[in-house]
Amino acid sequence: MEKLSEKELHALVSLLEDTDREVKNHVRDKLISLGHEIIPYLEKKWETSFNPEIQKEIEELVHQLQFSLLQERLRDWKNSPDQDLLTGLWIINTYQYPDLEFDKINAEMHQFYFEVWTAFKNDLLPYEQVKIINSVLFNTLRFSANTKNFHSPGNSMLSNVMETKKGNPISLCAIYLLVAQKLGLPIYGINLPNLFVLSYKTTDTTFYINAFNKGLVFSRQDINNYLDHLKIEPREEYFQPCTNLDIIQRTIRNLIVAFKKLNEEEKVKEIEELLAIIEA
């Protein structure tokens, strides 16, 4: 990437005030080509500018640079061998919180895991293990379903869910899943129509967990009844563990719905671009 001195950058940014649209577009393209490393400089320029039009230009530039960084990270994540769930959720999170550091979200997640781990005892049966996770997450830490603002974009932002302790089915399941897997438990995501749940699955034990309903445990027959109620034909994939890629894809789809409900067309368009990366 080309490096410019502070003086050259200053000269370039000052050209954003040019009334000639062609000059302005050329400057924007040039600044974007310099990559996300120039974001701190642009933010500094925003603070020292007293021209609202320039500030708006800088805001749009910064957003564009941050968004292309997010796209780059998402492509890398999709092509990574493990497709780590927490990393994927953090990348989506940076859409609304671009300054959020992965280490911060990772440290908070470790704290939730630690609270559950300290309540664990050896030789617990599967149902007892789930009972302890439920007790810590939903009673001690007070995680709950965000039924009031079910379609809020914040429900798909992991840092927001961690802070407010309220989320949608997939974000609450993701937190549950990350804690359970860190404990080494055979708990997986289950991609049901209109609902995301979890499964505790071994060779001789299989049951399901609804994190949106405080970890309610239910059976395969309950899923059949649920699908019957929705007039949906049961398919084997509705009972089998899904991938981290599926979870990220569904989180992005939820965000599209959330922004559509808010009539945020620009954001819908951008999130659809993220979905295209995942589905490519």
Q: Are 46 and 133 found together in one domain?
A: no
Domain containing residue 45: 6-79
Q: How many domains does the chain have?
A: 2
The answer to whether residues 137 and 224 belong to one domain is yes
Q: Which two tokens stand for residue 59?
A: 């805001």
C-alpha triplet 11, 17, 19: angle, nearest 5°: 125
Q: Is residue 90 located within the same domain as residue 201?
A: yes
State which of 51, 79, 107 marks the end of a domain.
79
What are the tens digits of pLDDT across the range 123-150?
899 999 999 999 999 999 999 999 888 8
Per-residue pLDDT at 28: 75
Same domain, 63 and 95: no
Q: Would you state the pLDDT for residue 1?
A: 47
CB 158 within 8 A of CB 93: yes
Instruction: Give the burial string for 5-23 (b: 16+ CB within 10 Å, else e).
Output: eeeebeebbeebeeeeeee
Condensed to tens digits (0 to 9), the pLDDT of residues 49-102 reads 777 777 888 888 888 899 999 999 999 999 999 999 999 999 999 999 999 999
Of 36 and 197, which is predicted with more confidence? 197
257 and 228 share one domain: yes
Last residue of a domain, one of 30, 49, 79: 79
Identify whether residues 170 and 48 lie together within a single domain. Answer: no
Integer Cα distance of 44 and 10 in angstroms: 11
My answer on whether 101 and 152 are in the same domain is: yes
Q: What is the pLDDT of residues 218-241, one digit of tens each?
A: 999 999 999 999 999 988 889 999
Domain boundary among the residues 52, 79, 106 is at 79
Are residues 96 and 217 part of one domain? yes
Residue 251's nearest CA partner among 188, 185, 189 is 189
**99 and 23 within one domain:** no
